[in-house]
Amino acid sequence: MREQVPDYEDRLSKFERMCVVKTFREDRTLIAAADYIADALGQRFVESVPLNMERAWSESHNKCPLICLLSPGADPTKLIEDLAKRKKIKTLGVSMGQVRVRALARSTLRRDSIRTARALRATQAD
């Protein structure tokens, strides 16, 4: 929910409002930034677009693998696992910092098919 900035709402541009919100309520900065971006560029630039894993798969190849970086609220693990199951491909999850698992992943990539390389996904350190 968008809250008003007391005494300043009518005098501030969207950008200035975002700066004021960041100064006093850093926890609300993303909301104010989304409001500014929607006003400046359009609503479509702040809406989430669901990942089409099938399309991403078709655009990847052995020299351009899929690399998924995780962030709060964005975890493609289930999409990857579902795609691998449909394609009958073995997956190997790798967390940053897991040296042994990364070494195993590298040897698996060298040994297995190009399709296995595409199924490899990176995850954040535990």
Please say if the pLDDT value at position 108 is more than 50: yes
Please say if the pLDDT value at position 118 is more than 90: no
pTM of the model: 0.45
Count: domains in the chain: 2
Same domain, residue pair 39 and 76: no
Same domain, residue pair 80 and 108: yes
68-81 confidence digits (pLDDT tens): 777 667 778 888 88
List the domain range (segments joined by +) for residue 90.
53-123
**Is the Cβ–Cβ distance between 82 and 121 less than 8 Å?**
no
Same domain, residue pair 18 and 62: no
Same domain, residue pair 98 and 68: yes
| Separation between Cα atoms, residue 75 and residue 27, nearest integer Å | 22
Same domain, residue pair 76 and 20: no
Mean pLDDT in the chain?
76
Please say if the pLDDT value at position 96 is more than 80: no
3-state SS, residue 32: helix
pLDDT given at position 41 = 94
Please say if the pLDDT value at position 119 is more than 70: no
